[in-house]
Amino acid sequence: MSCNRDIPNKVISQTSFLDLDDFRTRGKLVAVTDFNSTNYFIYKGTPMGFHYELLKSFAEYSGLNLEIVTENDVNKSVELLNAGKADLLAVDLSVNSLLERQVGVTSSTGRSRQVLIQRKPNRWNTMSPKDLDKSIVRSRSALAGKTVYIQSGSSAAECLRQLNTQPGGKITVIEVPFETEDLVSLVAKREIDFAVCDESIALVNTGYYPVIDSKTVMSDEHSLAWGVRRQKSEKLTALFNNWLESYKSTENYSLLYSKYFRNSWSNHIIKSDYYTLTTGKVSPWDMYIKSFSDTINWDWRLLTSLIYQESRFDPDVVSFAGAYGLMQVLPATGRTFGVDIKASPVNNIKGGVRYLRYLQDFFADRIPDEKERIKFILAAYNCGEGNIIDAMKLAEKHGKNPLLWDNNVAYYLLKKTDPSYYNDPVVRNGYCRGNEPVNFVSEILQRYSEYKYIIPSGKDRPW
C-alpha cells in the first residue's frame, strides 16, 4: 500500500455532485490513484498493482467501465475528487478527524504504520543483530537534532509534528514533493540520512536496497481508507463498502495481498529493466517502436499498446490463422508491403507499421476526426477495412452516425454475426466476429490511456 496520506486543512469547493446513478448513465467510474511499486505500475507492458487490481475488481462488480487518473500529490488528488474530475480517491488515507472534514471515507482498506528509513553501517552483513541495533537509530527520541525527509502531504508529516510536541530535542522535518520510493533511494545512495514512510512500501524497497533498514517504528498502527466526495456519494460509498467487506473475506483478496506484499516477486519486478517507473522501458523493442511510430506520426505508447495486445512482445508467437510475430502480421500482408515479416522482429514491426500507414491513408478522408479515426484504424488492423466499411454502411442505413465508433459503427460491427445483418445488401464482406475487433480497440485504447499516465512520451501526438 502507498504512503498514508493526510489531507491539508483547507477548504476545497465542491462543484460536481455525481453519484452512482450518474456514473452508470455516463458509463464509467473515474478513479485517481498514485503510482509506485505496490499500488499501480507497469511491468513488461502490463498495468499492475494492488490498488489497480482492486479498482478493476470493483469496476467489474459494479458494472462500470474504469478510467484511472494518476496523481502522486495527495493535495492535487483531493482537488480532482472534489472538483468532480474523479469519483473515487484510491489512495491510502489515514483515517482521522482532519481527513473526515475534507473528504468522505470508505470502509477500512487496511492498516499500516510509519517506519524510519536509514542506512545500515559498513559491514552490516557481518554484524550481530544486537550490534546492528546499537549502531543505528532504534528509538524516536534518538532522532532529536537530526534531519528527516518526508513526502509532502503524507501522514509521516503529521507523525513527526506530533513527535516534535513531546519533550526532548526537536527533529528537523523537511517535506519534499518526491514519491516515497525516491526518498528511499536517496537514503540508500547516501544523499540523505533519514526518511519516514509507510511500512509496506519500505518492506518492498528494502528487498531492492539491502543496505536500508526499516525496522524502527515511528507511529502506532492506524486504519487506512479510500476517499469519496462528502456530498452526494452515498450510493457509491455504500456499494463500494459492501463490495469491499465481502471481497476482503475471499481467497482472491488474500492471494492479491500476498502477491504484492508477501513475496520476493515485487523485488524482482523493481530490479527489472522493464519496471517502467524507474527505467521508462516497456519492452526490448522500445527503440524500434519509437522509430517506426515517428513514420506514421503516432505516439509510441499507442503502438506499444497495440503490439502488447497482439503478442505480449513475444517475437515468435504464431496465431491459428498464421499471423506471425510482434504485430501478428500475415506473411501475405508482409509481401504486399514488401517486407519479409519472419526475417526479424524489426522487419515484423516494419510490416505492421506499413499496414497501419495504408489504413491511415484509407480512412483519412472517410473519418475527418483524428481521435475517431484511430478507432477505425485499429479495428481494421484486426479484421480488415472491408468489415469496417460494412459496419459503417449498416450504421448509416439504420440511422446511426457512420463517422463515430462507440455505440454507432462498433454496434453494427457486433451485429455482423447475425444473418439478418451480414446478409444485408449493403454488406460486401459477410460474416464477422465483431466482438474481437470491438474488444481489440477498447483494450488497446484503455491500456494506452494507462500508459500515458506513467510512461513519458517525449513528443506530442494527435492521439
Q: Specify the amino acid at residue 456.
A: P
Contact 5, 155 (CB under 8 A): yes
Rounded to 5°, angle at Cα 425 from 420 and 426? 105
Return phi, psi of residue 339, to 5°: -130, 130
HSE value, Cβ hemisphere, 13 Å, CA-based, for 233:
23
Separation between Cα atoms, residue 410 and residue 445, nearest integer Å: 14
Per the DSSP assignment, residues forming a β-bridge with 223 are: 111
Amino acid found at 386: G
> From residue 324, how far is each of 311, 332, 357 by CA, in Å?
9, 11, 19
Query: In this structure, what C-alpha cell is assigned to residue 159?
Result: 507523525
Cα(77)–Cα(89) distance, integer angstroms: 7
Q: How far apart (Å, rounded) are the C-alpha atoms in residues 392 and 424?
A: 13
Distance (Å, whole) CA 258 – CA 262: 5
Do 118 and 194 touch, CB atoms closer than 8 A? yes
Provide the phi-psi class of 303: left if phi over 0, else alpha when psi is between -120 and 50, else beta.
alpha
* Cα 202 from Cα 176, distance rounded (Å): 18
Q: Quick check: is 385 catalytic? A: no
Q: Is the dihedral of CA 373, 59, 106, 15 positive or negative?
A: positive
- Distance of alpha carbon 412 from the chain centroid: 31
- Set 53, 67, 71, 310: catalytic member: 310
Residues catalogued as catalytic: 310
